[in-house]
Amino acid sequence: MLYKVKIDFFKIRVFAIYCLLVTFNCSLISCYTFRGASLDPNLKTIQIQNFQFQTAGGPPNLSLQFNEKLKEYFQRNTSLKTANINPDLMFEGAITGFTVEPKAASSDDKGGLNRLTITISVKFTNAKNDEKSYDQEFSFYQDFAQTQTITAVQGELVPKILDQIVLDIFNKTAGEW
């Protein structure tokens, strides 16, 4: 018994075009590479000196918190080893600002929101390539309700601010995006 096969050329064309598009997309994806830390492979060591607390206000352990966050971030995201003598990369600096100021007015002319801003001055030295060295201030802020005190919210806000500053420092140092 013979069966008649009905060929639908339209469906074949659609399928062929679909296959070409999938192949084209796959080839584009394979060409793209994510760029994260792009440190020179010749860089082997890093030194992060203790950042001094040079401002009024803020928690007494702010300097320690920042130092540990910066060290941990570089250890977790690079293959650099810490060194105290002739490091390839060196960070030093100070916490120069811890300010609280009103930002949004309420209906009775009082601040509806307060803003906590932390500023850190960073001197970065790249011993292998001086063009990559920099001396820059980094700052970030978080807003909180005017009805709250800084003492009540700093335990929550300070780590968020420090995390963002550490990320900004890392991106300035090792990122190309």
- pLDDT score for 93: 97
The proportion of the chain whose per-residue pLDDT surpasses 70, expressed as a percent, equals: 73
Instruction: Tell me the DSSP string of 33-49.
Output: ----B---TT--EEEEP
Q: Which of 11-15, 33-37, 148-152 has the lowest mean pLDDT?
A: 33-37
Please state, in angstroms and rounded to a whole number, the distance separating the CA atoms of residues 64 and 164.
Answer: 16
Q: With the CA atoms of 100, 153, 143 and 137 taken in that order, what torsion angle do they form, in degrees rounded to the nearest 10?
A: 60
In this predicted structure, the answer to whether residue 51 has a pLDDT above a threshold of 80 is yes
pLDDT tens digits, one per residue of 16-25: 565 555 554 5
pTM value is 0.75
> Which residues, other chains included, contact 157 with Cβ-Cβ below 8 Å and sequence gap of 6+?
116, 142, 144
The amino acid sitting at 112 is: G
State which H helix or E strand residue 73 sits in. Answer: helix 62-77
The proportion of the chain whose per-residue pLDDT surpasses 90, expressed as a percent, equals: 66
Please state, in angstroms and rounded to a whole number, the distance separating the CA atoms of residues 83 and 71.
Answer: 12
State which H helix or E strand residue 167 sits in. Answer: helix 150-174
